[in-house]
Amino acid sequence: GRRRSAPQLYCDLKRTARVQTVDGTEEPFLSLGWAALMPSQGLQASEFQRCAVVMSSAAVLNSGLGAEIDSHDAVLRFNAAPTLGFERDVGSKTTIRIINSQIVARPEHAFNSSSLYRNVTLLVWDPARYSANLTEWFRQPDFDLFSGYVEQRLRCPEQPFYILHPQFLWALWDRIQDNTEERIQPNPPSSGFTGIVLMMSLCREVSVYEFLPSVRRTDRCHYYEYYQDAACTLGAYHPLLYEKLLIQRINVGGRDQLTAKGKVTLSGFRTLSC
Ligand code: NCC
């Protein structure tokens, strides 16, 4: 792929990376009667003005960004990232949480009892093979998200809880590959990148914190855990480095905001004339 200009990248993303959730109209979900299981309101029904996306990076520690983050109309967080005890740096508001299928499937995350996953809009994803059909994926997900999903829908039908469509994830991957000369491994984008594009489609303006690291960058992985692994910031399984290069190209915020706050500002798709 050849490198595209920032306006081209915005328009490519807006046109091709439409947020799509599993809605029960395709097999195998159609025959399984999942249309009735899905939330009645589509995800796209929510619209926000200013949104914040808070990465789980340890670089956010000692940032004092909590109040700024909470001033947004909606805040997106990831996986098991808590706010309790970290309010000064990450804020306390959570509107949407994106989780990968490990959170639902692995007992240590206590998905059915942890308060992290209640009272928020929840989106789960699982890596299907590139261009695998939904039936193959349903039979053999990376981690079994489907049983936990059904249980949670029945237990808590009022909670907006969606499964991200693999086609959406691979459309994002295509955009990342388009923006680079190198051949990227066909692994799905990180939850972080997926969340950024989701918010670009729901919000007028998106502030992203500690995706592109600030001066506080560190080899420590998460703000809420002690282990060190540089791959968390640069990527091993996910094409994280390439995701970050793309986001850097479409940042409309200042350089000082990036260095001091690890903050990137992006325009929502609604504001683009393309
Ligand atoms: O680590 P994770 O991601 O939950 O982080 C959420 C998103 O924040 C961005 N990030 C994180 C740490 C860091 N130092 N720099 C960053 O930029 C990334 O964009 C990341 O997506 C995931 O994407 O779902 C991931 O999930 C974890 C793990 O499964 C969950 O935390 C649950 O425990 C994955 N780690 C492992 O499986 C060991 C990680 O690879 C991706």
CATH number at residue 23: 3.90.1480.20
109 domain residue, yes or no: yes
Judge whether 185 and 122 are in contact, CB under 8 Å: no
* Stretches in the chain below the pLDDT threshold 70: 1-2
Query: 237 CB less than 6 Å from ligand 1?
Result: yes
Ligand 1 geometric centre to CA of 12 (Å):
26
In-domain check, residue 69: yes
CA atoms lying within 13 Å on the CB side of residue 37: 23
What confidence score (pLDDT) does residue 1 get?
52
Residue 1 is assigned to a structural domain of this protein = no
Q: Which of 208, 205, 178, 213 is nearest to 193 (CA)?
A: 208
Tell me, in angstroms, the distance from the centre of ligand 1 to residue 191's CA.
7
67: containing domain: 6-271
Residue 207 β-bridge partners: 52, 265
Residue from 90, 114, 225, 232 whose mutation best tests the ligand 1 pocket (most atoms within 8 A of CB): 232
Contact criterion met (CB below 8 Å) for 264 and 212: yes
Our count of domains for the chain comes to: 1
- Amino acid 228 reads Q
Rounded Cα–Cα distance for residues 49 and 202 (Å): 8
Q: Does this model's pTM top 0.95?
A: yes
Q: State the Cα–Cα distance between residues 51 and 55, nearest whole angstrom.
A: 13
124 CB near ligand 1 (under 6 Å) = no
- Cβ atoms of 145 and 126 within 8 Å: the answer is yes
Expressed in angstroms and rounded, the spacing between residue 130 Cα and the centre of ligand 1 is 20
User: Looking at residue 2, what is its pLDDT?
Assistant: 62
pLDDT for 76 equals 98
How far apart CA 23 and CA 41 sit, in angstroms, is: 11
Distance 23 CA to ligand 1 centre (A): 26
Each residue's pLDDT tens digit, 145-204: 999 999 999 999 999 999 999 999 999 999 999 988 889 999 999 999 999 999 999 999
- Domain assignment present for residue 158? The answer is yes
| Of 250, 179, 242, residue with least CA distance to 4 | 179
Can you tell me the distance from the alpha carbon of 243 to that of 194, in angstroms, rounded to the nearest whole number?
A: 10
